[in-house]
């Protein structure tokens, strides 16, 4: 099978498209033929070595932590699934990864069966962006009708998901992005959009129940003035100093600071799937690349300019390989 591999930590040029052995499903595992694999910011941070302290040092590596496709084979001890099922997979436990390939084996517990005719393109990105947004707004922000929210980085994949979910919850939403993306963020449901290049949002005169910093470019101390008396600032970047500040400040202040890491919960994925089927929600997709162009996809991902998800399409790559060989 074809896969994008890296032999060492480094920039996007480290990727090599090569033929590797097709994996075999072991006990409790499922072999999935991948249709689409979603890229996430954590992917390039793993590629460049930022997370090497938490990962195996064994190379070569195949990155990618969420994808969609169909079950090709089942290992012993797997119940409730069958060959041909359309599925979403999230093999992130212990950085198992492996979705930048035409096939991947995953634990049965990391497989979510999709409705028969579900859109696999949207189905490749059901956790990192939408589930993160859902868990932040529902579990930490406790958002309800009438809540006021400022979403920093509203034009990214998490931001656009958060805008839609907050709107479902009845919140008033102020999005923050650059001028070129204002109309996009408005189209997803933001009540107002601020251009961060011309306005210092930390100096706004209004206050919010939640400041959701999807891109982690702000600091809690900068945002305290724009939080309501019981408001919260939430970011997604695991920074040691932030964790220390949270431990020191949260017990003594009604204004709270949290760093949130998504938890894999099948019930939350089911919620996202249901909303997509009801046409009440959509995964924002910006760009689709064939596997052979994974370097370009990572360069775009790392630029910070993506307006939604970046997807690798394995079917495009397969067709390209056929054309190349004929």
- Distance, CA of 7 to CA of 10 (rounded, Å): 9
Other beta carbons less than 10 A from residue 234's beta carbon: 20
3-state secondary structure of 314: helix
Any residues with CB less than 8 A from the CB of 144 and at least 6 apart, and which?
Answer: 169, 170, 171
Distance of CA 242 to the CA centre of its chain: 21
Report the number of distinct structural domains present in the chain.
2
Cβ atoms of 112 and 69 within 8 Å: the answer is no
Question: Is residue 208 included in any domain, yes or no?
Answer: yes
CA distance 255 to 225: 10
Token pair 């399409």 is at which residue?
313
Does residue 265 fall inside a structural domain? Answer: no
Specify if 18 maps to a domain.
yes
Same domain, 156 and 216: yes
Please check whether residue 237 lies inside any domain of the structure. yes
pLDDT, one tens digit for every residue, the chain (326 residues): 999 999 999 999 999 999 999 999 999 999 999 999 999 999 999 999 888 777 888 899 999 999 999 999 999 999 999 999 999 999 976 668 999 999 999 999 999 999 999 999 999 999 999 999 999 999 999 999 999 999 999 999 999 999 999 999 999 999 999 999 999 999 999 999 999 999 999 999 999 999 999 999 998 889 999 999 999 999 998 766 666 666 667 666 788 888 898 999 999 999 999 999 999 999 999 999 999 999 999 999 999 889 999 999 998 644 444 333 32
Query: Do 102 and 142 have their domain in common?
Result: no
> What are the φ and ψ backbone dihedral angles of 143, each rounded to 5 degrees?
-70, 140
Considering the domain architecture, whether residues 122 and 140 belong to the same structural domain is answered as no
Query: For residue 214, how far is the Cα from the chain centroid?
Result: 11
Contact by Cβ (8 Å): 156, 184: no
CATH of the domain at 122: 3.90.180.10
What DSSP assignment string belongs to 41-61?
HHHHHHHTTTTGGGS---SSB
Please answer whether residues 120 and 147 qualify as being in contact, where contact means their C-beta atoms are separated by less than 8 angstroms.
no
Would 266 be classed as within a structural domain? no
Question: Is 276 inside a domain boundary?
Answer: no
Residues 15, 62 share a domain? yes
Cis peptide leading into 100, omega within 30 of 0?
no
Q: Is residue 185 part of a domain?
A: yes
10 and 93 both lie in a single domain: yes
Residues 254, 289 within the same domain: no
Domain that holds residue 202: 130-259
Q: Kindly state the tokens that stand for 15.
A: 């990727």
Say whether both 252 and 305 belong to one domain: no
Residue 274 domain-assigned (yes or no): no
Q: Are residues 50 and 139 in the same domain?
A: no
- Residues 15, 102, single domain; the answer is yes
Within the chain, residue ranges assigned H as helices are: 41-47, 130-135, 157-168, 182-187, 220-223, 240-249, 266-277, 294-303, 314-325
Q: Are residues 86 and 164 in the same domain?
A: no
What is the C-alpha to C-alpha distance for residues 131 and 266, in angstroms, rounded to an integer? 10
Q: Are residues 14 and 120 in the same domain?
A: yes
Measured from the Cβ of residue 229, the count of other Cβ atoms closer than 10 Å reads 9
CATH code for position 239: 3.40.50.720
| Whole-angstrom distance, CA of residue 323 vs CA of residue 326 | 5
Q: Which two tokens stand for residue 314?
A: 């394995």
Same domain, 140 and 121: no
């Amino acid at each position: 099978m074809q896969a994008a591999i890296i032999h060492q930590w480094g920039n996007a040029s480290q990727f090599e498209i090569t033929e590797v052995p097709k994996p075999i499903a072991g006990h409790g595992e499922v072999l999935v033929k991948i249709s689409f694999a979603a890229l996430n910011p954590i992917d390039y941070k793993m590629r460049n070595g930022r997370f090497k302290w938490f990962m195996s040092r064994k190379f070569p590596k195949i990155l990618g932590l969420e994808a969609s496709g169909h079950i090709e084979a089942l290992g012993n001890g797997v119940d409730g699934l069958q060959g041909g099922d359309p599925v979403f997979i999230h093999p992130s436990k212990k950085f198992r990864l492996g979705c930048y390939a035409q096939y991947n084996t995953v634990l049965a517990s990391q497989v979510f069966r999709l409705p028969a005719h579900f859109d696999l393109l949207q189905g490749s990105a059901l956790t990192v962006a939408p589930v993160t947004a859902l868990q932040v707004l529902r579990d930490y922000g406790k958002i309800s009708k009438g809540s006021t929210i400022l979403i920093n980085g509203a034009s990214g994949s998490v931001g656009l998901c958060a805008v839609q979910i907050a709107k479902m919850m009845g919140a008033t939403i102020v999005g923050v992005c650059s001028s070129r993306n204002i109309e996009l963020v408005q189209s997803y449901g933001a009540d107002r959009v601020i251009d961060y290049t011309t306005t210092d949002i930390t100096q706004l005169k209004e206050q919010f129940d939640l400041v959701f910093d999807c891109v982690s470019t702000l600091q809690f101390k900068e945002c305290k003035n724009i939080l309501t008396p019981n408001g919260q600032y939430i970011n997604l970047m695991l920074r040691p100093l932030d964790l220390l500040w949270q431990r020191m400040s949260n017990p003594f202040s009604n204004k709270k600071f949290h760093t949130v890491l998504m938890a894999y919960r099948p019930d939350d994925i089911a919620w996202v799937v249901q909303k997509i089927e009801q046409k009440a929600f959509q995964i924002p997709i910006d760009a689709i690349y064939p596997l052979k162009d994974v370097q370009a996809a990572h360069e775009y991902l790392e630029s910070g300019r993506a307006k939604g998800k970046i997807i690798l399409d394995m079917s495009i790559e397969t067709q390209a390989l056929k054309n190349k060989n004929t």
